[in-house]
């Protein structure tokens, strides 16, 4: 492997400069309980180079010493089968290239059994109270009736499942013990993209393994995970890490390692953690009532992009655009409309549409909230009393009918927009597209329901609504079982 001498010299100089330190680091990462920082810094602009970037050299040794004892290994089985008697190097096929290596050098490393994998789960967790409450992932223990917890000091306990929430993938366990080491909890809101983080867990059964990386993004919304604003990192997470803690450089837990993005089944540089404030909200409900209740607003939303922001008269693209209001739901009762843009919840600004279900989901049913909305070019406030999320209303968009009921209306062309439309009982169906319409995401068969917040039923309605919109035209369309806004920018 070739080594660039310039980079080597830079690395040596960087190491020598570490001794200088910098008090500013305490403002970013703080200190541990002994008053020592977890990282060292090379300040910017040294050696007369004002363009030099400040470099942080993370030191995880104290973090591991102080917080590692509160991290546990979890082994879960179905039907009370004993993992220890069925695991080990002998569980590997004889022709596996690592068979002899594990056999001779690491004879006690636990291995996932080869057969009936659905009866075994390995994972991690961490202790949040001295009397034995432990957080982990639901998918580690779900469906298992024999859960064993292995502590850092080699003690083993049978754990009781207090409760598990599939939606958030958070589970709460309890072991019979006292005066246990506990983790310190941090505030995920204070995390910054690019900040160092570390994970401790048991990947593939290798307990007390430490991996590190940086925060790649915050507030990630994943499919079917509307209530969790995931922390994305490049920390190496593999099977067995699930349920383990994600630490910041203050030695505080800021998340629970939960998922990875992978095309191969292994780590590919993208992992996701559940913010600890979300997890603790779930854990408290599980501890108190054994179940989790989330507030429901009763709307379908979409992201506000730049063109949509302009079409609705906004200076910047933020908030959540309502595309559908569920009949009889809290939003409908409060008077919210399709085309309203929710910009804040109880005064907290929404940067992205995914922020809305997260903020609402953290509140209990029956809670009254104040929504700051943008409607017809003006800001308004609307009070809404939340109800409870239930499976029957979890996906309101799926209940919308896509059956088209044609009328006797003839087709008409909107040459300026590049559309050929026909009136139906549900709206104006697009029969052909060209010009401007072909440049946006409009398709044949889409049904135009409204222009902005004005419903359109025929050519006259459509012409009047487009004329009133000026050069930025927001079209509300129905496509199959979904409704969405598409902005057309006229020349």
User: What is the rounded average pLDDT of the residues 449-461?
Assistant: 93
Percent share of the chain, pLDDT over 90: 60
pLDDT reading at 21 higher than 90: no
Percent share of the chain, pLDDT over 70: 75
* pLDDT tens per residue across span 25-34: 344 344 555 5
- What pLDDT was estimated at residue 56? 59
pLDDT reading at 392 higher than 60: no
Mean pLDDT over all residues of the chain? Answer: 82
Q: pLDDT: is 79 or 150 the higher one?
A: 150
- 422 — alpha (psi -120 to 50), left (phi > 0) or beta? beta
| Residues labelled catalytic | 139, 169, 242
Q: pLDDT: is 409 or 149 the higher one?
A: 149
If pLDDT is split at 50, 70 and 90, which confidence band does 488 have?
Answer: very high
* pLDDT tens per residue across span 404-432: 444 456 789 888 899 999 998 889 999 99
User: What is the rounded average pLDDT of the residues 322-339?
Assistant: 95
* pLDDT tens per residue across span 220-271: 888 776 789 999 999 999 889 999 999 999 999 999 999 887 666 667 789 9
| Least confident segment among 35-39, 97-101, 154-158 | 97-101
- What pLDDT was estimated at residue 81? 54
């Amino acid at each position: 492997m070739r080594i660039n001498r310039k980079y080597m010299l830079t690395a040596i100089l960087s190491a020598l400069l570490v001794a200088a330190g910098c008090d500013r680091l305490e403002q970013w990462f703080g200190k541990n309980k002994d008053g020592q920082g977890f990282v060292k810094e090379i300040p910017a602009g040294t050696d007369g180079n004002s363009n030099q970037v400040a470099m942080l050299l993370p030191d995880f040794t104290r973090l591991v010493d102080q917080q590692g004892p509160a991290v546990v290994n979890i082994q879960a089985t179905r039907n009370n089968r004993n993992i220890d008697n069925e695991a080990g190097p002998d569980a590997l096929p004889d022709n596996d290239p690592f068979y002899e290596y594990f056999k001779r050098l690491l004879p006690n490393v636990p291995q996932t059994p080869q057969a009936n994998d659905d009866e075994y789960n390995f994972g991690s967790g961490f202790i949040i109270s001295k009397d034995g409450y432990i957080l982990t992932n639901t998918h580690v223990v779900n469906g298992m009736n024999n859960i064993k917890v292995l502590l850092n000091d080699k003690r083993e306990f049978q754990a009781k499942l207090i409760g598990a929430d599939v939606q958030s993938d958070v589970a709460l366990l309890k072991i019979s013990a006292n005066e246990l080491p506990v983790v310190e909890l941090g505030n995920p809101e204070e995390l910054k993209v690019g900040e160092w983080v570390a994970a401790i867990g048991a990947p593939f059964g290798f307990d007390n393994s430490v991996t590190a990386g940086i925060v790649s993004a915050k507030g990630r919304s994943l499919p079917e995970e509307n209530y969790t604003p995931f922390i994305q990192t490049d920390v190496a997470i593999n099977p067995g890490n699930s349920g383990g803690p994600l630490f910041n450089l203050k030695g505080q837990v800021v998340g629970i390692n939960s998922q990875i993005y992978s095309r191969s089944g292994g780590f590919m540089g993208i992992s996701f953690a559940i913010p600890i404030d979300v997890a603790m909200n779930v854990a408290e409900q599980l501890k108190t009532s054994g179940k989790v209740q989330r507030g429901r607003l009763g709307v379908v939303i979409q992201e506000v992009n730049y063109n949509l922001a302009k079409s609705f008269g906004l200076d910047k693209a933020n908030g959540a655009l309502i595309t559908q209001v569920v009949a009889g739901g809290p939003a409908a009762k409060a008077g919210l409309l399709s085309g309203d843009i929710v910009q804040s919840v109880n005064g907290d600004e929404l940067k992205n549409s995914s922020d809305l279900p997260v903020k609402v989901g953290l509140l209990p049913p029956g809670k009254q909230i104040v929504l700051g909305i943008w409607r017809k070019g003006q800001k308004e406030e609307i009070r809404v009393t939340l109800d409870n999320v239930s499976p029957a209303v979890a996906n309101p968009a799926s209940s919308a009918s896509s059956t088209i009921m044609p009328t006797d209306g003839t087709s008409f062309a909107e040459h300026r927009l590049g559309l050929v439309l026909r009136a139906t009982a549900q709206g104006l169906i697009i029969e052909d597209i060209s010009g401007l319409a072909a440049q946006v995401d409009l398709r044949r068969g889409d049904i135009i329901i409204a222009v902005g917040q004005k419903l359109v039923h025929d050519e006259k309605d459509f012409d009047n609504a487009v004329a009133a919109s000026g050069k930025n035209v927001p079209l509300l369309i129905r496509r199959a079982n979904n409704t969405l806004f598409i902005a057309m920018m006229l020349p």
